[in-house]
Amino acid sequence: MPKLSDRVHTFTDSVIRRMTRISNEHGAINLSQGFPDFDPPREITDALAKAAKEGPHQYSITFGAQNFREALAAKQERAFGYPVDPNNEIVITCGGTEAMMCAMMTICNPGDKVIVFSPFYENYGADAILSGAQPIYVPLVPPTFDFDINLVEEGFKQGAKAIIVCNPSNPCGKVFTREELMAIGELAVKYDAFVVTDEVYEHMVYAPMHHTCMASLPGMRNHTITCNSLSKTYSITGWRLGYLIGPAEVIENAKKVHDFLTVGAAAPLQEAATVGLKFPQKYYDDLLELYTEKRDYFLAGLDKAGLEHNVPQGTYFVLVDISKFLALPQFEGKTDLEFCEWMIKNIGVAAVPGSSFFKEEVNHLIRLHFAREKSTLDEALSRLAKLQDLLK
Ligand code: GLN
Query: Angle at Cα 119 formed by Cα 113 and Cα 121, nearest 5°?
Result: 80
Rounded to whole angstroms, the maximal C-alpha distance in the chain is 63
pTM value is: 0.96
252 and 290 share a domain?
no
For residue range 199-248, list pLDDT tens digits in order: 999 999 999 999 999 999 999 999 999 999 999 999 999 999 999 999 99
What pLDDT is stored for residue 360 in this prediction? 95
Q: 21 CB under 6 A from ligand 1?
A: no
* Residue 350 and residue 242 share a domain: no
CA distance 193 to 200: 22
pLDDT above 90 (res 276): yes
Atom of ligand 1 nearest to the CA of 170: 4
Instruction: Kindly give the distance from the C-alpha atom of residue 34 to the centroid of ligand 1, in angstroms, as a whole number.
Output: 5
Confirm whether 46 is domain-assigned: no
Q: What is the DSSP letter of 271?
A: H
If one residue of 31, 170, 315, 352 were mutated to test the ligand 1 pocket, choosing by the most ligand atoms within 8 A of its CB, it would be 170
Rounded distance from Cα 250 to ligand 1 centre (Å): 26
Say whether pLDDT at 125 is over 90: no
Share of the chain above pLDDT 90, in %: 96
Please report, as a single letter, which amino acid is at residue 261.
L
- Ligand 1 centroid–CA 219 distance in Å is 31
- Residue 12 confidence (pLDDT): 86
Domain with residue 308: its CATH number is: 3.90.1150.10
In sequence order, the 6+-apart residues with CB closer than 8 A to the CB of 79 are 202, 213, 216
**251 plus 121 within the same structural domain:** yes
Strand partners, 66: none
The mean pLDDT value of the chain amounts to 97
Residues 109 and 244 in one domain: yes
What per-residue confidence (pLDDT) applies to 392?
A: 87
In a shared domain, residues 22 and 144: no
Q: Where a domain ends, among 226, 250, 278?
A: 278
Say if ligand 1 is within 6 A of residue 33 CB.
Answer: yes
Has residue 31 been placed in a domain? yes
Claim to verify: residue 286 and residue 265 sit in the same structural domain: no
| d(CA 109, ligand 1 centre) in Å | 26
Does any domain span residue 111?
yes
Q: Are residues 111 and 171 in the same domain?
A: yes
Q: How far is CA 99 from CA 92, 126, 239, in A?
A: 8, 14, 14
Beta-carbon contacts of residue 320 (< 8 Å; ≥ 6 apart): 302, 307, 308, 309, 351, 365, 366, 367, 368
pLDDT digits (tens, 9 = 90+) for 61-78: 999 999 999 999 999 999
Distance between Cα 237 and ligand 1 center (Å)? 9
pLDDT over 90 (residue 346): yes
Which residue, judged by its Cα, is nearest atom 7 of ligand 1?
A: 33
pLDDT in tens, 313-327: 999 999 999 999 999
Q: How far apart are CA 260 and CA 255, in angstroms?
A: 9
Q: Residue 325 and residue 53: Cα distance in Å, rounded?
A: 54
Indicate if 343 and 250 belong to the same structural domain.
no
How large is the C-alpha radius of gyration of the chain?
21
Whether the CB of 229 sits within 6 Å of ligand 1:
no
Domain boundary among 278, 299, 332: 278
Q: What per-residue confidence (pLDDT) applies to 81?
A: 97
What confidence score (pLDDT) does residue 73 get? Answer: 98
Any ligand 1 atom below 6 A from CB of 368: no
| Mean pLDDT for the stretch of residues 280-292 | 98
The pLDDT score that the predictor gives to residue 164 is 98
Banded pLDDT at 132 (limits 50, 70, 90): very high
In whole angstroms, what is the distance from residue 296 CA to residue 293 CA?
5
Q: Is the minimum distance from the CB of 97 to ligand 1 under 6 angstroms?
A: yes
User: What's the distance, Cα to Cα, between the start and end of the chain in Å?
Assistant: 53
Q: Contact at 8 Å (CB) between 322 and 368?
A: no
Query: Which is the closest atom of ligand 1 to the Cα of 96?
Result: 9
- pLDDT over 90 at 92, yes or no: yes
- 247 CA distance to ligand 1 middle (Å): 27
Ligand 1 neighbour 17 (Cβ under 6 A): yes
- Cα(198)–Cα(228) distance, integer angstroms: 6
Last residue of one domain, picked from the residues 229, 255, 278: 278
Q: Mean per-residue pLDDT for 15-37?
A: 96
In a domain, 360, yes or no: yes
Residue nearest ligand 1's atom 9 by CA? 97
Task: Look up the domain containing 142 and give its range.
Answer: 56-278
Q: Does any domain span residue 199?
A: yes
Co-location of 239 and 364 in the same domain: no
* 320 within some domain: yes
pLDDT value at residue 169: 98
Pairwise CA distance, residues 48 & 269, whole Å: 7
The answer to the question of residue 364 being in a domain is yes
The reply to whether 235 and 313 lie within a common domain is no
> Average pLDDT of 177-181?
98
Do 97 and 223 share a domain, yes or no?
yes
- Residues paired with residue 308 on neighbouring β-strands, in sequence order: 321
Q: Is 34 in the pocket of ligand 1 (CB under 6 A)?
A: yes
Task: Give the CATH number for residue 190.
Answer: 3.40.640.10
Residue-wise over 86-106: b if at least 16 C-beta within 10 A, else e?
A: beebbbbbbbbbbbbbbbbbb
For residues 306 and 215, membership in a common domain is answered with no
Single-letter residue type at 140: L
Total count of domains within the chain: 2
The answer as to whether 198 is a domain residue is yes
Is the distance from the beta carbon of residue 20 to the nearest atom of ligand 1 less than 6 Å? no
